[in-house]
Structures are given as structure tokens and as C-alpha cells.
Structure 1
């Protein structure tokens, strides 16, 4: 009973992953509030051969998994890092499918106590995969418990309190931890060192995203023209998750306001309705960029002041809008604050003020 309640508290769910199973459908409950996540899960590839992009990581991971299968053992623990939406969760599910085993799914924020993690670990079966999303957000006591479990396949359960407390060591069957993180630098060195394979996922180029979109269009049973796929790919920020989301929005527009054909005109019209511009900037991105240029003369301006100007929290501006704006060379971060680049002024169709020191090329 203690183990069952702890597992439920930790938010861990078991997902059976097999070649002909509906694994990803069972990760997401297709309720009314989860339709978007269900649609996203349905488009995920199930095997490494279906996975588009990330050629180096895919090849390295294939070697790790197939070598372990050849030895009849479990593969080393796997750490996947990179920005959101690039396929870390998908690869975790694929690992289970390639190994022919089940995947237990949980996340760092869901495990607040060592007992929660102990319950999850104690219920694992031999060869299973434990996927921990946002592993950098594990509580410190749970981290320390995970160290021992990953290295020695053992978990120490403390029974009793105070002077009468006693630690009981429970042997665990061999299993594989797959950790996913968007901030690998926050992982403590002892935890990072226990992963036998670390793969970093990079942003996709437009050609790879067009392949993703072509595959997704086939699964959605829609007619996606090549030029429309290229247009959607160019506005997807190098991220498959965004590309698939925009594809579904273009499909909606074509279904309601056209004949259902996803051609270039439909793609451009739909993306205009959803305020996604030619660079992939959305409403928040443009608000930040416009405020920086028109209200603050291109900067420098502090993050908090900029966030107030657009009516958002500083953390939202910093974590949601800024990474893409910086990556695209539209804003720069300086010790004095945020500044607009020459490309930002050009993209907005504005003329920068002739003030030295505020314009970055």
C-alpha cells in the first residue's frame, strides 16, 4: 500500500512500449483538455528508423541499444539534453520500443521526496526503462537516492525514526534510466557522471523539418504541397514540435476556409491568422521586439522594464521569447540590458535612431 500511494504521488505512469502497441497513445489521456497533446503524441515516430534528424545522436544511440541487445543485458543510462520540442521524450519512448520493454514515465518536479523515488524504483521490473523528464529539477534527497540506484542497482529504505531508524537495502533488477533536460548545466556532476551515454539534440534545418512535416501530413491524411511544407518549416524555429503544431493549424484553416488543400496560399493565410510571421516570430516575440525598438529606442533596457512594457512576467520574456530572438540575432544581451540589432529594426520595417552605441549588427 505504501509503495502504491507513493507511486501515485510521484506522478509516475507505466507505458508498455512494443512494436505493435499504442505506447504513445497511453502516455497522454485523450481528454478534452488534452486534445493538443494527444494529437502531438500521435505524430511521434515509434522506432529509430522513423526518427528524422539528429543523425549523430541517432547513430550513437542505435549502437548503444543494439550492443546491449546483442549482449543480452541492459544498456547504460541515457541522458538527453537540448531545447524543448526537439524529440527527447520521443527518443525515450523509442528506446523502450527498440529494447522491447516498457517505459515508466515521471518528471523531476513530481518527485519531491526520496520515498516517492524509492517507490518507483522498487516497482521496476528487469530491463524496464525509467524516463525522468526535467531531471535537473529533482529534489536533492531524491538525487542522492538515484545515485546509488543507477550505479549499484540498490535502494536504501529507512524504516523508523530517530535513534531507532534503520536502513534496509533493497536490491533492484537491472534497469535503464533515461533522463531528459533542457538545462544540462544544472545537473550536479555526480548525477551527470552516472549516465553512460549523453546525447545533445540540436535545432533542425528546414530540410529536416520538411521531412517531419511530410511524414506528419501522411499520418493526418492531408494533402500538403511541397511549397507549403517549406513555408511552414521556415517559420518553425527549427523545432519539430512547433512545425507539427503549425501544420495542424494550417489544416484547420484549410478545412474551414478553403477546400482542405494545404497549398502555399493556405499556409501563408493560416499563419497570418495565427500571427506567425516570416521568421517564425509570434505575438509575444513581436511585442518584445517592438517595445524594445519603439519605446526604448533600441535599448539598452533592463529585463524587468521590458517585461512590464509588454505586460508579461520577466521569467516569461527571458525563457520563452528571448532564446529565439537572441538565436536569430534580433536582440543582444549586454551588461547594461537588452539591445535591438540592426536586423531587428529591418525586420520590423523601422529606421533605427542615429545614436551611437545602441545599435548592434
Structure 2
């Protein structure tokens, strides 16, 4: 089997793939220009004052760079980063143990912060405002609250569902950033940078091809690049060209608009079996052989964002664009339904 002539030192082990491709500094972070500028001001001001920056809340869909930004914040401040998540903290004692182990100025990253348990959430209020936690010793009337002072720290919270955050918790963050989906030009830049780190020869046309099919998400762009790299190496192509990229993405069932097998299956059964809808989510999920949560959280948001499907009070409906994407015509019986 023939392989491309690539410097072995540029190759990255799969287990280190995500970490190797993450930007390390704010200046290296592609896209999100508004968030980058605002966050840079927050960090610069804190450095000038010699204090820890305000607590930071990062919200947005998965794969847009929330964890990466948390790592960058710690790197820019020159401090350690402690990482945990809302689902992992089931009791207030779990959170107290994490907080009491922080050193001055450190950054604590809590992913999926909206899934914190209520007792831990109550404890976090006091820790964020007064840098103190009260540990309850004993039970009943004899219980005693022992205050533990905490060193100043910066909490970076990440959430994919900002609407589920309680108001009191959201208000305690000094800076809130909403990450948006990336445009194709920014994603092409990310693909180019990742290809350089992986040692993958790739032309600009292929970068754009991968970017267009990445659903506005850097994580997906890097994943598709990885699969295109595999295809290119196994098939013996010295460089990733547009034809190579297209052939690889076709093999992995990612079409020109970024729809994968599940997306097309949802559109297919909706247009073919149910005449475009409306149809209930549970029926739709059963028809494609997937869990309701998978269809609702993985396929449906992208199909709606692309204008291929809409939610109505009676159920899901395919749009004219959805029919057109599959090369089909909407039924003539009720054309207004698809407007």
C-alpha cells in the first residue's frame, strides 16, 4: 500500500487528535471575532489590574469551541485549569472538594453547567460572589455550618442550553459569550490549520469542500478532515484534491450540504411515507429506527436551520427545499403546506 510522503513528526496519534488541533492562544482561535475581541479585553484588563478576571459563561451548540476557549483563558492567564462537569457533581460535597482544592487565580471549567444539582448550585452562588463555601457538619438541629474561605478564582461555565440556567446563576457571571455557527470561510481556515498540524497536503478547493459540509461546526470539520486524510492515505493519493475529498465524503455519506445518513433518512421517510407531514416526532423516530432524543437533538436542529424541515403544532413538516434536496416534488394536494 502506497502512502503520501509526509513528515512522521507531523503525524498525530488518534488519541491526541483533538488536543493537538486545539488552538493554544486567543490569536490562534479562528472565527467568533466578536467573542474573541470581548474576551481579550476582559483578560487584558484583569492582567493590568493583577486580579482574576470575572467569571465567564460560554453558551452555544456543541462543537463550537467552548472547551477550547476555557483552555485558552487559562493559558492566557498563565494558570492551571481544573475541569469538571455539571452531571459529574451530584452533591454539594463534590463541589466543595473541587473548590477547596483550587489555588489562587486558577480557572475552574464546568461543562454542561446547567445540569448541576440544586444543592451544588446553591453552594456555587456563594463561592462565585464571596469566594467562600459553607460546609454543613452534622444533621438536624445540631447541624453546624463551617465557612471555608476560597482563594480568588475564575469560573468558566459552558452550556448548550442557556435557557435552562437559573437566573441567579446566570447573573453571577461577569461576561457572557454566545458562540454562533461558523461560516464556510472560517471553517476553511480551520481545516487548513488542522491539515498543517496533521501533515496532510491539501489544496484550497478541498478545504472549501470540507468546510461546506461541516454544518458550521469546527469539531465536525476536523472530524471530516480526519476521514478524508484516511481515505487519501489508503488510496495512495499524495495530495488531497477536491475530487479526493468528494470521493471520501461520499463514501462516508456526507452530502454537499452536510447532511448525513440520519438527516437524509428523516427527510426521506417524511417525504416518502408521510407525504411531507405533519407527523409526530415519536413516529418519525420509529420510522428511521432511532431514539426520539437522537432525532430531536442531532438531526432535527440542523434540518430546521437549513430550512429543510419545520416544526408545527401538529408535527414535523418537510419544506419545499427539503423536497428539492432529495430531488422530489411536494404533493400537489396541499401545496400551501410547504410554503
The TM-score, its normalising length taken from structure 1, stands at 0.89
Kindly state the Cα deviation for residue 163 of structure 1 after the two structures are TM-superposed.
2.1
Counterpart of 1:262 in structure 2 is 240
| Post-superposition CA distance 1:79-113 (Å, at most 9, x none) | 00001100000000000000000000000000000
Aligned with 1:167: secondary structure? Answer: strand
Aligned with 1:217: secondary structure? Answer: helix
Q: Paired residue for 1:56, among 20, 25, 34?
A: 34
**Contact kept in structure 2, 1:224 and 1:261, CA below 8 Å:** yes
Answering whether residue 183 of structure 2 is matched by residue 205 of structure 1, we say: yes
Q: Paired residue for 2:199, among 221, 232, 248?
A: 221
**Contact kept in structure 1, 2:330 and 2:338, CA below 8 Å:** no
Q: Paired residue for 2:50, among 60, 63, 72?
A: 72
C-alpha distance in structure 2 between counterparts of 1:78 and 1:162, whole Å: 37
The TM-score, its normalising length taken from structure 2, stands at 0.95
Answering whether residue 247 of structure 2 is matched by residue 283 of structure 1, we say: no
**Aligned Cα RMSD in Å?**
1.2
Unaligned runs of 5+ residues in structure 1 are: 1-24
C-alpha distance in structure 2 between counterparts of 1:305 and 1:221, whole Å: 46
Answering whether residue 224 of structure 2 is matched by residue 246 of structure 1, we say: yes
Aligned with 2:338: secondary structure? Answer: coil
**Contact kept in structure 1, 2:205 and 2:242, CA below 8 Å:** yes
Moved more, 161-170 or 349-358: 349-358
**Contact kept in structure 2, 1:332 and 1:360, CA below 8 Å:** no
| Post-superposition CA distance 1:238-276 (Å, at most 9, x none) | 101000100010000000013241110110000011000
Q: Paired residue for 1:321, among 278, 295, 299?
A: 299
Counterpart of 2:161 in structure 1 is 183
Unaligned runs of 5+ residues in structure 2 are: 1-11
Kindly state the Cα deviation for residue 353 of structure 1 after the two structures are TM-superposed.
1.1
Answering whether residue 275 of structure 2 is matched by residue 297 of structure 1, we say: yes
C-alpha distance in structure 2 between counterparts of 1:110 and 1:358, whole Å: 48
Q: After the TM superposition, which parts of structure 1 deviate over 3 Å for at least 4 consecutive aligned residues?
A: none
C-alpha distance in structure 2 between counterparts of 1:360 and 1:173, whole Å: 58
**Contact kept in structure 2, 1:299 and 1:358, CA below 8 Å:** no
Kindly state the Cα deviation for residue 360 of structure 1 after the two structures are TM-superposed.
2.2
Counterpart of 2:8 in structure 1 is none
Answering whether residue 106 of structure 2 is matched by residue 106 of structure 1, we say: no
Counterpart of 1:154 in structure 2 is 132
Higher relative contact order (CA 8 A, sep 6+): 2
| Post-superposition CA distance 1:272-303 (Å, at most 9, x none) | 11000011000110110101000100000000
* Count of residue correspondences: 328
| Post-superposition CA distance 1:308-346 (Å, at most 9, x none) | 000111111000000000000000100000000001111
